[in-house]
Amino acid sequence: MDIGLYPTLGLLAFALGLFAFAYWKAHKPAEPLKVRMMNYHYLTFFAAVFALVMVAHLVSIISGHPFTGRSGNFGQ
């Protein structure tokens, strides 16, 4: 199964949007009596990692050379 160009661009846009939202929420001033239900710093980190993976996949799609790794037969 291979993800094409348009789904990769869509997932990249989603990851960047999630990163921007989590960054904005993480840097809002804390309200003293209100408990945050999630740590937005973790969500920012995971969104950034996912965006980097999508950029790497996008480069492999555009270049036409799939990632093979050092062994030459990654994933087979």
Q: What is the pLDDT of residues 4-30, one digit of tens each?
A: 899 999 999 999 999 999 999 999 988
Rg (CA), the chain: 17
Q: Where are the alpha helices (DSSP H) in 27-68?
A: 40-63
User: From CA 7, how far away is CA 47, in angstroms rounded?
Assistant: 16
Contact between 23 and 44 (Cβ < 8 Å): yes
pTM across the whole model: 0.80
- The pLDDT-based confidence of 76 (bands split at 50, 70, 90) is low
